[in-house]
A and B are shown apart, each in its own frame.
Chain A
């Protein structure tokens, strides 16, 4: 019985190891759905937007603004690609992100968002003072399991962590 079990675990384990060794890897960690490679191929980043002042402002439909709109534009510039903006309701956007129809989703999301088990989220790039708990911790959402894309976005966010980038705008928008 015990011997049989050993065989049962050993076979899939060695199988897994073999597959791991055989499949070469240029990107680490890699995207299961090749999102990052597709972005470069297409030349566009597909970004879903949900309005949330001052993070995402949709007054100009061709070029959404706001703090996160600005961040994504800069990220796309760094990648050397254009941005395709998609406007829809938040549930529709999450669904699209889960189905890999979007690469990123912005809308002033925080670490308290209810979709973290279903989609990927970046680390907290900015913590709002004067907001309680996880609602203050701002993150961006990306396609689930596309870890190369997530790492690329986070590498970009490492350079955009200075609270002074965000605080003046926040105070401005909080003025009545």
Chain B
């Protein structure tokens, strides 16, 4: 069997990818510190519990990304002749489903606390066996303020990398990070609400956080499914077509011996593969040679294009 040649990222992209991997490790580290801070201050507040779970879920996309990166580097083999580039989408789908289900659980948990009219009790702050003469709510707010800062900065740093590397998993992660301040703010409002004697503020703010997680999960599941179903190449940031089809057609029509061109491309994770149909001028005798030249020409048009197939045909049926 003839397996695909392994795909090599261009050097500049490879450097960006290393940077992205480093950022994801840093992300995981900060998320762990945030989760620890939350856990130590949580008490019996519903909103703190949800904020903690939300931050715990923020571990999933970086973990999935880093894991998939290891598998993705494998060269295509007999068992997987098309290579492993799609592993990241599969991992992303699994993570997205987990986030979606978790969001559902969180929503049920916090709304049921609301309906049971559960009054959150927050007294003095205690850490393990020591008590401090300060209201625990203030310490929770400090922890939540800390939880706002690192994700927003990291999110802004990951966003351009995701675009440059055509990594939708990284993009989803950056997006979640960037939106993280909203949930932490909701939690702060919830804790302040408890301080003012509004028992429902806690569960209401918790429900808002759950809704946000649910929304994240739904968006990611949709995106992952569409991409696994051989979607045409689209931008990472939106669902707008990349326009690579037209780029290839325009470039190839400039060739003297080509009358008509049509393409059919699909996303396979971070790379893009597919077919190009070509109609040569009558009398073209060196078809095999030209076909190989055209493959080289087309593949050089964009760094994501990989293992394109050129099919000489008599006429293109549109």
Decide yes or no whether B129 CB sits under 8 A from chain A.
Answer: yes
- Among the 9-residue stretches A22-30, A40-48, A50-58, A167-175, the one with 4 or more Cβ atoms under 8 Å from chain B is A22-30
Distance of B215 from chain A, by nearest CB (Å): 5
Question: How long is the Cα–Cα vector from A30 to B197 in the complex, in angstroms?
Answer: 4
CB atoms of B196 and A23 under 8 A apart? yes
CB atoms of B204 and A29 under 8 A apart? no
Distance of A110 from chain B, by nearest CB (Å): 14
Question: How long is the Cα–Cα vector from A12 to B182 in the complex, in angstroms?
Answer: 12
Question: How long is the Cα–Cα vector from A119 to B186 in the complex, in angstroms?
Answer: 25
Decide yes or no whether A13 CB sits under 8 A from chain B.
Answer: yes
Q: Find chain B residues with CB under 8 A from A25 CB.
A: 195-197
Distance of B95 from chain A, by nearest CB (Å): 20
CB atoms of B124 and A29 under 8 A apart? no
Decide yes or no whether B211 CB sits under 8 A from chain A.
Answer: yes
Q: Find chain A residues with CB under 8 A from B131 CB.
A: 123-124, 154, 158
Partner of A28, one of B118, B195, B198: B195
- Assess A155 versus B133: contact at CB under 8 Å? Given A13-B186, A29-B194: yes
Question: How long is the Cα–Cα vector from A148 to B194 in the complex, in angstroms?
Answer: 11
Decide yes or no whether B145 CB sits under 8 A from chain A.
Answer: no
What is the interface size of chain B, counting residues whose CB is below 8 A from a CB of the partner?
34
- Assess A145 versus B121: contact at CB under 8 Å? Given A9-B212, A20-B189: yes
Q: Find chain A residues with CB under 8 A from B212 CB.
A: 9
Distance of B136 from chain A, by nearest CB (Å): 9
CB atoms of A147 and B201 under 8 A apart? no
Distance of B203 from chain A, by nearest CB (Å): 11
Question: How long is the Cα–Cα vector from A116 to B44 in the complex, in angstroms?
Answer: 9
Decide yes or no whether A3 CB sits under 8 A from chain B.
Answer: no
Decide yes or no whether A132 CB sits under 8 A from chain B.
Answer: no
Question: How long is the Cα–Cα vector from A18 to B31 in the complex, in angstroms?
Answer: 31
Interface 0/1 of B102-134, CB less than 8 Å to A: 000000000000000011111110100101010
What is the interface size of chain A, counting residues whose CB is below 8 A from a CB of the partner?
39
- Assess A31 versus B197: contact at CB under 8 Å? Given A9-B208, A16-B204: yes
Q: Find chain B residues with CB under 8 A from A20 CB.
A: 189, 192-193, 196, 198, 201
Decide yes or no whether A150 CB sits under 8 A from chain B.
Answer: yes
Q: Find chain B residues with CB under 8 A from A16 CB.
A: 189, 193, 201, 204-205
Interface 0/1 of A129-159, CB less than 8 Å to B: 0000000000000101111101100110010
For this complex, 26 residue pairs linking A to B, each with C-beta atoms less than 8 Å apart, are A2-B219, A5-B215, A12-B208, A13-B185, A13-B189, A16-B204, A19-B198, A20-B193, A20-B196, A29-B196, A32-B197, A116-B44, A120-B121, A123-B126, A127-B129, A144-B118, A144-B119, A145-B118, A145-B120, A146-B119, A147-B135, A150-B123, A151-B135, A154-B124, A154-B131, A158-B133
Question: How long is the Cα–Cα vector from A124 to B128 in the complex, in angstroms?
Answer: 10
Q: Which 10 A-B pairs have the closest CB atoms?
A: A145-B119, A30-B197, A120-B121, A29-B195, A144-B119, A32-B199, A150-B123, A123-B131, A32-B197, A154-B124
Question: How long is the Cα–Cα vector from A161 to B129 in the complex, in angstroms?
Answer: 12
Partner of B199, one of A2, A8, A145: A145
Distance of A173 from chain B, by nearest CB (Å): 24
CB atoms of B208 and A120 under 8 A apart? no
Question: How long is the Cα–Cα vector from A150 to B212 in the complex, in angstroms?
Answer: 33
CB atoms of B123 and A120 under 8 A apart? yes
Decide yes or no whether A122 CB sits under 8 A from chain B.
Answer: yes
Q: Find chain B residues with CB under 8 A from A142 CB.
A: 121
CB atoms of A29 and B129 under 8 A apart? no
Question: How long is the Cα–Cα vector from A124 to B123 in the complex, in angstroms?
Answer: 12
B120 and chain A: residue at smallest CB distance: A145
Decide yes or no whether A62 CB sits under 8 A from chain B.
Answer: no
CB atoms of A32 and B126 under 8 A apart? no
CB atoms of A30 and B196 under 8 A apart? yes
Decide yes or no whether A117 CB sits under 8 A from chain B.
Answer: yes
Q: Find chain B residues with CB under 8 A from A5 CB.
A: 215
Q: Which of B129, B197, B204 has most A Cβ within 10 Å? A: B197
Interface 0/1 of B32-61, CB less than 8 Å to A: 000000000000100000000000000000
CB atoms of A29 and B135 under 8 A apart? yes
Partner of B129, one of A9, A17, A124: A124
Q: Find chain A residues with CB under 8 A from B195 CB.
A: 25, 28-30, 147
* A-B contacts besides A20-B189, A29-B137, A154-B123, 15 pairs, CB < 8 Å: A5-B215, A9-B182, A16-B204, A28-B135, A29-B135, A30-B195, A116-B44, A117-B44, A122-B123, A145-B118, A145-B121, A151-B123, A151-B135, A154-B124, A158-B131
